[in-house]
Amino acid sequence: MVEENRKDPRAEVRIEIQYRTGQEFLAAYTKNISGGGLFIQTSQPLPLNQTVALRFTLPGINCQFEIGGLVVWANSSPRSAFPAGMGVKFMEITPADSSAVATFVKNAGGEATGLDKKA
């Protein structure tokens, strides 16, 4: 069993996310989000250490988030314990956006080990 290195609570939430690298614009769906980053479900994850510009909205929050991130985890083949996709760490986030994401996770019942309910 793999031990997880999570410091921020997370909320399971499926939202559309747009992301951009220096070369391309892409869209996919998230699996979860925390105050420190999110997981994007995709069969074609970006390489580790790739910077990305993220754009998304969260349910119940009238705000479009635009956050700079870094790919810190990727899996291109789906397995039962690890779905295909990539973990993106928030690197360029305003204090207001950070607070809004953290509040969303808290209100969704986020826990360090994940959630049973959907946001």
**Residue 31 placed within a domain:** yes
User: Does the pLDDT of residue 102 top 50, yes or no?
Assistant: yes
75 within 8 A of 84, measured Cβ to Cβ: yes
User: Does the pLDDT of residue 29 top 90, yes or no?
Assistant: yes
| H or E segment and range at residue 30 | strand 25-34
**Residue 84 placed within a domain:** yes
53 within 8 A of 68, measured Cβ to Cβ: yes
At 77 the pLDDT is 78
**Residue 39 placed within a domain:** yes
Return the number of other C-beta atoms located less than 10 Å from residue 103's C-beta: 13
Domain count of the fold of the chain = 1
**Residue 112 placed within a domain:** no
Structural domain for 56, as ranges: 12-107
The percentage of residues in the chain with a pLDDT greater than 90, rounded to a whole number, is: 66
At 1 the pLDDT is 36
90, two tokens: 């928030």
Q: List the CATH number of the domain containing 19.
A: 2.40.10.220
At residue 95, what are phi and psi to the nearest 5 degrees?
-55, -40
**What DSSP string runs through 61-78?**
---EEEEEEEEEEEESS-
The model's pLDDT over 44-98, given as tens digits with 9 standing for 90+, comes to: 999 999 999 999 999 988 889 999 999 999 998 766 677 899 999 999 999 999 9
**Residue 100 placed within a domain:** yes
**Residue 69 placed within a domain:** yes
66, two tokens: 């635009």
**Residue 77 placed within a domain:** yes
**Residue 117 placed within a domain:** no
